[in-house]
Amino acid sequence: MKTNAELTQSISEHIETFLGHIAWRIEVFTASRTRTNLAGALIAGLCVAALFCLVSMASDPFNQYLCLRITLQAIISYIGIALLLHKLWTYALNRLLPVWVLTAVFGSLVFVTITLASTVARDWHDPYAMQFTMREYLRYKLDAAQFVYIFLSLLTLPITATVHYAGAIVKAVKRWHGDPDDSLSILGG
């Protein structure tokens, strides 16, 4: 039977090994800018989709098809922008304005535009059900879309930045720990 100290040491060693493996995987994964930008776009799209699905569930009963549509729209918006920027954005321009910033900003814009267009198209078919004139309705929807765009841009910027700089974060943590054999040490020894 192990004592509490031995058990704690064993658990700590397992956690340390696990964190070292994760750190190594992150460094290998972030070696490719394309992979990193696409992963950031995917995670940003999934976070936006989760947020929109939660908001839609708060107002209506759960609709799996609506959540699936929102998820696909979000993923396509952010990954599409990341792929487009990968093809068009040169390394010199990347130093001026990084792809992860543009992915968050333009991915949010594309997602909000698609969502706004589908909402207006859906409501357009039943103009008698609307409580406003079409002009008032469009102004209201555009004002709401502007707020949502700013919110989503601010939400996804830290997500894409964290994924983009994950490798640098891991290297900084390793340097901070001062562990020369490339394994993280949570025990400090």
Residue 10: both structure tokens together? 């064993």
Question: Would you say residue 2 lies in a domain?
Answer: no
**Residues in contact with 153: Cβ distance below 8 Å, sequence separation at least 6, in sequence order:** 104, 105, 108, 109
DSSP 48-72: HHHHHHHHHHHHS---HHHHHHHHH
Question: Would you say residue 188 lies in a domain?
Answer: no
Question: Would you say residue 189 lies in a domain?
Answer: no
How many Å apart are CA 126 and CA 123, to the nearest integer?
A: 6
Structural domain count, the chain? 1
Question: Would you say residue 89 lies in a domain?
Answer: yes
> Using one digit for the tens of pLDDT, what is the confidence trace for 117-128?
888 877 777 666
> Using one digit for the tens of pLDDT, what is the confidence trace for 136-188?
878 888 899 999 999 999 999 999 999 988 888 887 777 776 655 555 444 44
Residue 99 is given by DSSP the state H
Please name which of 124, 125, 118 lies closest in space to residue 145, comparing C-alpha atoms: 118
pTM recorded for the entire structure: 0.76
Question: Would you say residue 182 lies in a domain?
Answer: no
Question: Would you say residue 81 lies in a domain?
Answer: yes
Domain span at residue 57? 11-177
Question: Would you say residue 130 lies in a domain?
Answer: yes
Residue 76: both structure tokens together? 């396509």
